[in-house]
Copies of this chain bind each other. A is one copy, B any other.
Amino acid sequence: MHSPELNDLFTLLRFASVSTDSKHNADTRAAADWLAAKLNRIGMAAVIHETPGHPVIIAKNKHLEGRRTVLLYGHYDVQPAEPYTEWRTPPFEPTIVGDRIMCRGATDNKGQLMAHVCGLEKTLREEGDLPVNLICLFEGEEEIGSPNLKPFLEAHRDELKCDVVAISDTGMVAAGVGTFTYGLRGIACCEVIARGPSIDLHSGIWGGAVANPATMIARLVSTLHDAEGKVQVPGFYDAVRLLADWERDSWKKLGDTASETLELTGSPELFGEAGYTELEQRWARPTAEVNGIGGGYQGEGSKTVIPREAFAKFSFRLVPDQQPDEILAAVEAHLKVHQPPGIRLEVKLGHTGFPYLMDPFSPFGLAAQRALETTFGGKPALIREGGSIPIVQAFKDVLGVDTLLLGLALPDCQAHAPNENFPIANFEAGMVLNQHLLRELAK
């Protein structure tokens, strides 16, 4: 016998709303329909808006003059569940194992989204209204990069006008520790292609007289960092804002995260920029990563060719106040300065996203902290995260407001991976958090 709230979550979880896979379009649509109906049932006027992709749901309580307006964002789509064989329970049949709900989407993002919806339901049932003007904005394309959300925000700018955004789609530092994420890294991507001969050459006949694009791409990649892992692109660190003393102190209190990182990544040892803690390296320092490198023979054994071309795909994680376009320009200039001999070089610039940083001691930040403290007990952890959430920047750009990131996922919730799970306790805490948050934001 589950609680009615858990039953609702299970219903939503059973829709295999895999946004990237058109085979699941009907499931994704059904999830949106059910969610809108649920919102209507609890007293939030919900409307489904079509987009070129999956629909967006907007739901509002009755908005009153003189109250704060809060936008609650979430997404009802999920990652694919493949490989199915690695799941210990059916990926789209929620199953309780110990104290956790196992299911694709349990943590990302249906569990966190439904905790908020159930919190709203409780408040509306008990008090007849919410303490704020609320806008729910739930989309179905987060897992494919929210291609239609920014245009949607622009088209519905007036309808979505608000004072602040709240999202539960990030992590907690540990079970039971309320966690406020006040910063995210930005991103800038590019790809570099080294082109040599017009066809793959016989490395015996020609080797020695022409440049090898695979050798040259490696040489180029090796110029990105020094031996200690510091990025060598001139100007790369110029705009990096130093960590505030309170941040350094606050993160130190999270203890030694090195062993957890080793365990979760499986890396043989940690390696990062000297002079920074493991958390500082991931949350407050920019990086240059090779996401892919390739060229020449990829099969078993050997094939003695000089490949006609080779490539490397880079992404740079950025921190305040680095500007993605400036970084890409600096990277492109660096690659051209170091262009190896004997090849043609092409640099393709890719997508970018600004780093995000808000003041956790702003009035809204403090309100979020109080809500976390009342929910979980104890001072919340104040953290940044290393990833990038482009919608947060879209809210800033289009609506001009900050986003409060109040995550409920644990490090071992396996988001995007097989055996995704969500603790029942976090689902229940999320409902309580929703109630406290709206109360605090109303003040």
A residues touching B (Cβ–Cβ < 8 Å)? 185, 187, 189, 191, 195-199, 201-212, 214-215, 217-222, 224-225, 261, 265-273, 278, 281-282, 285, 287, 289-298, 301-307, 310, 312-313, 315, 317, 341-344, 350-351, 385-388, 416-417
Compute how far the CA of A205 lies from the CA of B389 in the bound complex, rounded to whole angstroms: 11
A292: which B residues are within 8 A, CB to CB? 214, 295-298, 303, 305, 307
Say yes or no: B351 contacts A211, CB within 8 Å. no
A211: which B residues are within 8 A, CB to CB? 267, 269, 271
A287: which B residues are within 8 A, CB to CB? 203, 207-208
Compute how far the CA of A307 lies from the CA of B221 in the bound complex, rounded to whole angstroms: 15
Residue among A219, A220, A385 having the largest count of chain B Cβ atoms under 10 Å: A219
Given A210-B272, A215-B225, verify A291-B304 contact (CB < 8 Å). Answer: yes
A268: which B residues are within 8 A, CB to CB? 195-196, 342-344
A306: which B residues are within 8 A, CB to CB? 289, 291
Compute how far the CA of A222 lies from the CA of B203 in the bound complex, rounded to whole angstroms: 18
Say yes or no: B342 contacts A267, CB within 8 Å. yes
Say yes or no: A209 contacts B297, CB within 8 Å. no
A344: which B residues are within 8 A, CB to CB? 268
Compute how far the CA of A45 lies from the CA of B157 in the bound complex, rounded to whole angstroms: 92
Say yes or no: A206 contacts B266, CB within 8 Å. no
Say yes or no: A302 contacts B297, CB within 8 Å. no
Residue in B222, B298, B307 whose beta carbon sits within 8 Å of that of A219 in the complex: B222
Identity of the chain B residue whose Cβ is nearest the Cβ of A306 in the assembled complex? B289
Compute how far the CA of A313 lies from the CA of B271 in the bound complex, rounded to whole angstroms: 25
Say yes or no: B207 contacts A386, CB within 8 Å. yes
Compute how far the CA of A214 lies from the CA of B291 in the bound complex, rounded to whole angstroms: 8
Shortest beta-carbon distance from A302 to chain B in Å? 4
Given A271-B342, A289-B203, verify A317-B265 contact (CB < 8 Å). Answer: no
Compute how far the CA of A342 lies from the CA of B267 in the bound complex, rounded to whole angstroms: 7
Compute how far the CA of A217 lies from the CA of B217 in the bound complex, rounded to whole angstroms: 11
Shortest beta-carbon distance from A240 to chain B in Å? 12
A-B contact pairs, 23 of them (CB 8 A): A203-B317, A204-B317, A205-B386, A206-B261, A210-B270, A210-B271, A211-B269, A212-B289, A214-B312, A218-B218, A218-B290, A219-B221, A270-B342, A289-B304, A291-B303, A292-B295, A292-B303, A293-B296, A294-B295, A294-B298, A297-B313, A301-B350, A302-B350
